[in-house]
Amino acid sequence: MKQNGTRVAPFLGEAVLSARLGRLILRTTLRRRIYLNFVLLIVIFGVLGSFLGAFLVNRTAVDEAQRSVRLNLRSAWGVIQGRLEELRILVAVLGTGKRVAVAYAAGDPAAYRASLEAARRQCGFDFLSLTDEHGRVILRTVEPYHVGDDLSLDPFVSSALKGSTPSGFLILGAQRLRAEGGDLEERAFVAFEPTTKAKPRAKTFETAGMALIAAAPVKDEKGNIVGALYAGVLVNRNHSLVDRIRSAVFEERLYNGKPLGTVTIFQWDVRVATNVTLPNGNRAIGTRVSADVYDKVLENDISWYDRAFVVDDWYLSAYDPIHDLEGKTIGILYVGLLARKYDDIRAALWKLYAALSVAAAIVVLAIGVLFARRLSGSISRLAEAASLIATGNYDLRVPEPRSQDEVRELTQAFNAMAASLKDREERLSQTNLDLERTNEKLQRLNANYMDMLGFISHELKNTLGVIYTSAKTLEKGLAGPLSEPQATLVKGISRSIQSAVSMTRNYLDLARIEKAELSMESRPLDLVEEVIKPVLEELSSAASEKGMLVQERLRGPIGLTGDPALLRVVVRNLVHNAIQYGRRGGLIRLEASKENGKVQLEVWNEGEGLSPDQMGRLFEKFVRFHKEKTSERRGTGLGLFISKEIVGKHGGKIQVSSEQGKWTSFLVTLPA
């Protein structure tokens, strides 16, 4: 039991301490809270600064290492160029020496083979040969001493026969290696080893070899070129060459038992000379370069400097393409620094900066706890009071503290705010109550107005219909002949009644729209036969009275789904407006078509046109415009508003365009 008690007590103590600390933090003065936030910002930026500093130091170290690798690569090239220059000088000296001159002058070079073979061994060449002036081999110094093959196309031999002394890299095929003699063919053969991240290849082995070669012309006593002398060193498995480069560049330094620097010569993408080793300690001959390096260096002939995976580890690496005498990429020179060393340095830096950041955070937090112990309870009381006021208790007031500081001022401002909120809430409640009463009255008035408008319009429509029929009967002489003055009077009566009927229809439609009673009875219909032509027949006399020509461009039949009665209202309003506001004796044109699942109807008329301001207000309720030539205002100002509502119910749209003083056009687009 005692043991259990000793285990529980620390947790209880921590819980109590956390609770007290939480209350203290909530009760800070305004000044100290700002200070605490400032301290926290210092901690945050301190941690960020530590990470940033570690990153920058690490980045600098890596960049410095990469620059070192670039310099190491230059040094490696310096060693290779030195070896090539040494090879070139030795060949040039031999080419002008007595032994070669005697061999050519005697007419039987083979008799002097022993002398030249000794020279080859002395100079450290893998092969040394002579050709005649046509490039045909006349002497080789390595068994089986093969002669007679034509090397006139060899770039080094052909350059020497032209008087140059070239040196460089050359890829020698298996047949050429066999002809040069010795164990060259065997040394050049490389079987590919499985390599992580390498680019897949169909071949599994390589029989050709890479060589360092130099050639020089051989001249007789008169200065004429009588042949060429060439010699070379096979790069494949030439461990002394890459070790010599590593010693010159990296010395023999190790890191965790592994060489710090490595050097490799690739024949295309295969290691043929390297001091990179496999886990078993063997040199990594036959392993291949990674796919990233392959693509950049071999395929695009661009040097590559970055981290690279080499056989089984990461290196800070530099890769340079190797070119033959003709400038063709034939391999890669690689120099690498073991990345593990710099990764360990980076990890150590991160740990150091992390430790410093944690230590700084602990110190600042300790300082914050000291400030937290001097908290007051005023802010906490203000927070609780604010919560109560949020629930609607506007009578609550917070006692003012005795201290003369910002908290006292804040408490006074808080109590003043509470009083102001109470006063505003009372005024808002009264205002909302008044608004609700006013809204109810307006709704009742609007409903009564709509009912009355609908009733009066309906009764007027019936009465006007009877009067209109009677007037038409008189006008057509069905009730007896009329004198000319009487006929003129009756026509005027008919026009006035027709205008009144149109106004009544608009008021009825408005009442239905405002009361959301405008219903559609959609069905398949023919726009031309069921909508446009009936309206044109109805309004033809009005157009004739103004001497207006109605031109129809109707590509019928035009089928769509809609309410024919409502669509006739739209067309009637548009054509009526064209007659009413169009130029006397002018043209009215109706065009209708159906394309791409849409039906379009355009009503165009000559007339005064509309200004941009007028077009912006055209579809509003009760909007009427003066005609310029008269002060007369006609209509209810509802036709276009109603038309837009009807078109919208059909899922379409109505647009207006105009050129002031010339024409006006309305375009109705409906889904088919």
Q: What is the pLDDT of residue 187?
A: 93
Give the Cα-Cα-Cα angle 151, 153, 155 (nearest 5 degrees). 100
pLDDT tens digit sequence for 156-183: 999 999 999 999 999 999 999 999 999 9
The amino acid at 271: R
In 3D space, the residue among 572, 517, 566 whose CA is nearest the CA of residue 670 turns out to be: 566
d(CA 195, CA 644): 76
Average pLDDT, integer, range 60-78: 81
Average pLDDT, the chain: 80
- For residue 481, pLDDT over 90 is answered with no
User: Does residue 343 sit in helix, strand or coil?
Assistant: helix
State the residue for tokens 């009936």.
534
Q: Identify the weakest region by mean pLDDT among 424-433, 504-513, 533-542.
A: 504-513
Q: Model-level pTM?
A: 0.49
Q: Which contiguous run of DSSP H or E holds residue 355?
A: helix 339-372
Q: What is the pLDDT of residue 345?
A: 76
Q: What is the pLDDT of residue 329?
A: 95
The values of phi and psi at residue 546, to 5°, are -95, 5
Contacts of 138 (CB under 8 A, 6+ apart): 109, 130, 131, 132, 147, 227
Q: Identify the weakest region by mean pLDDT among 65-79, 232-246, 265-279, 443-457.
A: 443-457
Q: What is the pLDDT of residue 332?
A: 95
Strand extents, DSSP E, 311-364: 313-323, 329-338
In 3D space, the residue among 578, 585, 590 whose CA is nearest the CA of residue 551 turns out to be: 590
d(CA 391, CA 420): 16
The amino acid at 507: Y
Q: Identify the weakest region by mean pLDDT among 55-59, 232-236, 317-321.
A: 55-59
d(CA 404, CA 410): 11
- For residue 154, pLDDT over 60 is answered with yes
Can you name the residues that pair with 652 across neighbouring β-strands? none
Cβ pair 563, 670 in contact under 8 A: no
Q: What is the pLDDT of residue 15?
A: 42
Q: What is the pLDDT of residue 194?
A: 87
- For residue 99, pLDDT over 70 is answered with yes
Bigger pLDDT: 626 or 334? 334
State the residue for tokens 């010693």.
247
d(CA 105, CA 90): 21
The values of phi and psi at residue 153, to 5°, are -90, -5
Cβ pair 618, 489 in contact under 8 A: no
- For residue 223, pLDDT over 90 is answered with no
Contacts of 187 (CB under 8 A, 6+ apart): 209, 234, 236, 237
Average pLDDT, integer, range 135-150: 92
Q: What is the pLDDT of residue 634?
A: 56
d(CA 668, CA 652): 7
CB atoms within 10 A of CB 465: 13
Percent of the chain with pLDDT over 70: 76
Q: What is the pLDDT of residue 275?
A: 87
pLDDT tens digit sequence for 181-192: 999 999 999 999
Q: Which two tokens stand for residue 324?
A: 């033959």
Cβ pair 418, 394 in contact under 8 A: yes
Q: What is the pLDDT of residue 571?
A: 94
Q: What is the pLDDT of residue 478?
A: 72
Q: What is the pLDDT of residue 512?
A: 61
Average pLDDT, integer, range 465-472: 70
Q: Which two tokens stand for residue 41?
A: 């910002």
Can you name the residues that pair with 667 across neighbouring β-strands? 602, 655
Average pLDDT, integer, range 480-500: 69
Q: Identify the weakest region by mean pLDDT among 101-110, 293-302, 593-602.
A: 101-110
- For residue 375, pLDDT over 60 is answered with no
- For residue 301, pLDDT over 50 is answered with yes
Cβ pair 177, 209 in contact under 8 A: yes
d(CA 164, CA 209): 24
d(CA 475, CA 176): 122
Instruction: Give per-residue burial for 627-651: e unless 16+ CB within 10 Å, then b.
Output: eeeeeeebbbebbbbbbbbbbebbe
Name the pLDDT band for 389 (thresholds 50, 70, 90): confident
State the residue for tokens 């790069």.
235
Q: What is the pLDDT of residue 111?
A: 75
Contacts of 139 (CB under 8 A, 6+ apart): 103, 109, 110, 112, 113, 116, 129, 130, 145, 147
d(CA 436, CA 400): 40
d(CA 582, CA 288): 89
Q: Which two tokens stand for residue 300?
A: 């695009």
Q: Which two tokens stand for residue 574?
A: 């548009």
d(CA 589, CA 435): 51
d(CA 431, CA 422): 14
Q: Which two tokens stand for residue 528?
A: 């031309």
Q: What domains, with CATH codes, occur in the chain? A: 61-341 (3.30.450.20), 413-518 (1.10.287), 520-671 (3.30.565.10)
Cβ pair 188, 207 in contact under 8 A: yes
State the residue for tokens 């008189």.
474
Bigger pLDDT: 26 or 125? 125
Q: What is the pLDDT of residue 198?
A: 87
Q: Identify the weakest region by mean pLDDT among 417-431, 461-475, 613-627, 634-648.
A: 461-475
Give the Cα-Cα-Cα angle 116, 118, 121 (nearest 5 degrees). 110
Cβ pair 190, 206 in contact under 8 A: yes
Q: Which two tokens stand for residue 516?
A: 């959301």
Q: What 8-state DSSP symbol labels residue 233? A: E
| Kind of pairing between the strands at 225-234 and 127-132 | antiparallel
Establish whether the linkage from the previous residue to 144 is cis, with ω within 30° of 0. yes
Bigger pLDDT: 224 or 59? 224
pLDDT tens digit sequence for 391-404: 777 677 777 766 66
pLDDT tens digit sequence for 528-555: 999 999 999 989 988 998 999 999 998 7
d(CA 477, CA 491): 12
In 3D space, the residue among 440, 428, 351, 425 whose CA is nearest the CA of residue 389 turns out to be: 425
Average pLDDT, integer, range 434-444: 76
Q: How far apart are the first and last CA of the chain?
A: 89
- For residue 407, pLDDT over 80 is answered with no
Q: What is the pLDDT of residue 309?
A: 73
Bigger pLDDT: 462 or 362? 362
Strand order in the sheet with 127-132: 137-140, 127-132, 225-234, 209-219, 167-172
- For residue 54, pLDDT over 70 is answered with no
Average pLDDT, integer, range 96-102: 82
Q: What 8-state DSSP symbol labels residue 630? A: S
The values of phi and psi at residue 259, to 5°, are -55, 135
User: Does residue 469 sit in helix, strand or coil?
Assistant: helix
d(CA 127, CA 640): 104
User: Of 32-36, 100-104, 461-465, where does the model show the most confidence?
Assistant: 100-104
Q: What 8-state DSSP symbol labels residue 402? A: S
Average pLDDT, integer, range 18-46: 58
Q: Which contiguous run of DSSP H or E holds residue 201?
A: none
